[in-house]
């Protein structure tokens, strides 16, 4: 399994936050919100040191956005002069107006701490937590829309809102949260979204055995909008024959064998295998009832009734593409062949459908999913699916704002249903179309690109 690095070009981006340097009211232990109080000499030096620290940390930012209050503006000026990063005032970063509490002492008085837990309280003539959160959340939403990196220079009250935007917090944690003067804090935006694509007859057009240029264009559009690309296929992408598709698609994540294995940035994060006892029972059913069942590993097929596979290959692509080995090798402990899923083939769509039904009836621990053409069926561990695997992926990447899924077969149904937007190809099975939120054009009629252009 190979991971094609995109060098972070389309990864989720960071945002940096620096609280202003020490102010005169920090020293006096007075509550300082929207009141414009200057830095101390120590505060000026802290800001200069922070500029140096940002250089030493190798932080690359496009712009410093700062609160127009003097203590933040002066801190930003020092950082800008030290780093060469341009600065711009942003009024939405102004500290909360604490109304009747402004200028009172001490800053951590129990009454004031309790008041900060009253999120709709305006403190007399001040600003409520909800109002402040609204402007900060709107700002952070705006900054998420471009590919620039920002350093925000503002205040302690703003810091807790920024943290709450990126992380879950209890009311108590929110009210008590604070950062030190001139500390450098980093948060990461989640990816704009996760775009999940089946391979066969969704990305890969079997009529020409190519990924259409229009589909590649759609992938590029999604990446530029901050989407991670996940290839979600029934295939075993560890097989060398499939690596060419990884080179073309360059997915950040691969969900293979219908959710039995997930890799992210080349690292396996989730895996389910079919044990040898289960494989043995499945092979016996195939032998007894005359259908092909097995798996392809490293371009070698391990099937009972491999002659059926050969007939299908000769009929569809004009040649046999793999070497066939005894299916019993799958049961050999010394060979230690790892199986994540199996495949069923019958001589006709009707035979394939009957074989899949027979396997599920006799082996309830397995689940069968027909190809859109009914020429075969994928067999996986019951209870597992592409959708479940994508949920594991989302946990690994730290969340995404939207999940979009494209598919054409029954093995895509659960993923189409769980996605925020499920899109079935025009050539999809009726079951997949019924599960989707929208149906696009046929794969050969630029279906993926048309779908992306219609909603993005």
Task: Give me the active site residues, please.
Answer: 20, 95
Beta-bridge partner residues of 271: 261
Using left for φ > 0, alpha for ψ between -120 and 50, and beta otherwise, residue 74 falls in alpha
∠ CA(402), CA(406), CA(411), 5° rounding? Answer: 115
What does the radius of gyration of the chain's CA atoms come to, in whole angstroms? Answer: 29
**Which residue carries 């829309």 as its tokens?**
145
Q: What is the DSSP letter of 209?
A: T
Residue 76: both structure tokens together: 């930003």
- Check if the beta carbon of residue 52 is closer than 8 Å to that of residue 187: no
Cis peptide before 106 (omega within 30 of 0): yes
- 13-44: b (≥16 Cβ within 10 Å) or e: bebbbbbbbbbebbeeebbbbbbebebbeebb
Decide: residue 65, CB within 10 A, 0-12 exposed, 13-18 middle, 19+ buried: buried
SS3 content of the chain, % helix, strand, coil (to 5): 40, 20, 40
- Check if the beta carbon of residue 33 is closer than 8 Å to that of residue 93: no
Report long-range pairs for 36-45 (Cβ below 8 Å, ≥24 apart). Answer: 36/69, 36/70, 36/71, 37/69, 37/70, 37/71, 38/70, 38/71, 38/74, 39/70, 39/71, 39/74, 39/75, 43/71, 43/74, 43/75, 43/181, 43/182, 44/74, 44/78, 45/21
Angstrom distance (rounded) from CA 224 to CA 101: 46
- Check if the beta carbon of residue 197 is closer than 8 Å to that of residue 403: no
């Amino acid at each position: 399994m190979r991971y094609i690095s995109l060098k972070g070009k389309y990864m989720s981006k960071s945002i940096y936050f620096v609280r202003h340097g020490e102010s005169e009211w920090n020293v006096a232990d007075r509550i300082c919100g929207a009141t414009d109080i200057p830095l101390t000499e120590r505060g000026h030096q802290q800001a200069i040191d922070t500029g140096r620290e940002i250089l030493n940390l190798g932080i690359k930012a496009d712009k410093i956005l700062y609160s127009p209050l003097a203590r933040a503006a002066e801190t930003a000026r020092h950082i800008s002069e030290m780093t060469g990063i341009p600065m711009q005032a942003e009024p939405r970063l102004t500290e909360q107006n604490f109304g009747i509490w402004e200028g009172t002492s001490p800053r951590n008085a129990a009454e004031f701490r309790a008041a900060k837990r009253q999120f709709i309280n305006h403190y007399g003539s001040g600003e409520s937590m909800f109002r402040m959160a609204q402007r900060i959340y709107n700002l952070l939403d705006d900054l998420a829309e471009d590919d620039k990196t920002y350093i925000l220079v503002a205040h302690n009250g703003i810091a807790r809102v920024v943290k709450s935007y990126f992380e879950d917090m209890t009311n108590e944690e929110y009210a008590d949260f604070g950062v030190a003067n001139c500390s450098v804090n980093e948060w990461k935006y989640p990816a704009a979204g996760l775009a999940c694509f089946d391979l066969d007859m969704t990305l890969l057009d079997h009529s020409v055995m190519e990924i259409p240029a229009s589909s590649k264009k759609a992938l590029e559009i999604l990446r530029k909008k901050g989407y991670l690309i996940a290839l979600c296929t029934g295939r075993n992408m560890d097989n060398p024959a499939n690596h060419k598709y990884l080179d073309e698609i360059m997915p950040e994540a691969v969900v293979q064998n219908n959710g039995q294995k997930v890799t992210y940035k080349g690292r396996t994060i989730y895996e389910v295998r079919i044990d040898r006892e289960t494989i043995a029972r499945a092979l016996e059913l195939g032998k007894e009832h005359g259908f092909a069942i097995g798996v392809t590993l490293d371009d070698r097929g391990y099937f009972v009734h491999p002659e059926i596979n050969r007939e299908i290959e000769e009929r569809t692509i004009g040649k046999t593409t793999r070497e066939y080995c005894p299916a019993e090798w799958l049961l050999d402990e010394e060979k230690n062949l790892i199986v994540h899923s199996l495949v069923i083939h019958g001589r006709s769509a009707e035979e394939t459908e009957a074989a899949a039904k027979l396997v599920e009836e006799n082996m309830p621990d397995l689940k069968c999913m027909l190809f859109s053409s009914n020429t075969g069926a994928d067999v996986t561990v019951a209870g597992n699916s592409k959708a479940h695997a994508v949920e594991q992926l989302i946990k690994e990447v730290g969340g995404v704002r939207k999940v979009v899924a494209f598919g054409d077969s029954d093995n895509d149904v659960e993923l189409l249903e769980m996605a925020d937007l499920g899109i079935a190809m025009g050539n999809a099975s009726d079951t997949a179309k019924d599960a989707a939120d929208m149906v696009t054009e046929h794969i050969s009629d630029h279906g993926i690109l048309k779908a992306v252009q219609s909603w993005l």
